[in-house]
Chain A
């Protein structure tokens, strides 16, 4: 196998890893977003059930989303920063 072929394989592997990470991020974002919207909906209702809903259908997805995000942080490949900031 040529050197170009090796590089291509590495690039594909990295791309696949990035896509997998992006999927984690999408799921995490979706869960956190939905959870937060449900939380905000319960804030305007002064009723015992509102607090239960806040905790179960609001905080639950947010907690799950945060766990997924932490998993994403562990998996995400380290890439060089492409910032144009001179301090980098």
Chain B
């Protein structure tokens, strides 16, 4: 009974925060909403006798990952999104895909065995309740699942080295190298003259500025329209 109440609290918070993470206009706020989602998922882990995973979830996802995401957001700029740019056809296609996936899962879950009570043996459940899952998981990870555990460490090492190599600044950093696409567009063997690059960069900045202006104009018209409607009705 208490478990059910806790489940519903976490479910409502989790789904609400997930909606916020996806539909919030500001990316920073979306990342902050994601913390709430990960926290409530950690709550579900605790309800399912997985306390070690719950703590790992909080440390890795809710804290570590979200901070890295915030770093990336601050590197790339927090531009508010505009859903209106998604055209109607692709929106319809997305709707169909999403509805299909949801229907598929719901139909599959209807044929699940109705397991209202946990299926793990009462002996194990008692051990999990009293001493937690950390000891059991540790024993398993270092005996039966030792090989995948070691492989996971190699994967993490490879990912770390890969991330550093991909994201690091080149030592011979020059104007032409930071505009890799320009070089590709012209010719790889002969770098374009510097003034051509400068011209392209200015053009791109102009385009960016124009787009920003257009967006602002759109917002301004959006805000003034209801006002006009209100004044005319009066």
- B is bound to A: no
| A interface with B by C-beta (< 8 Å) | none
| B interface with A by C-beta (< 8 Å) | none
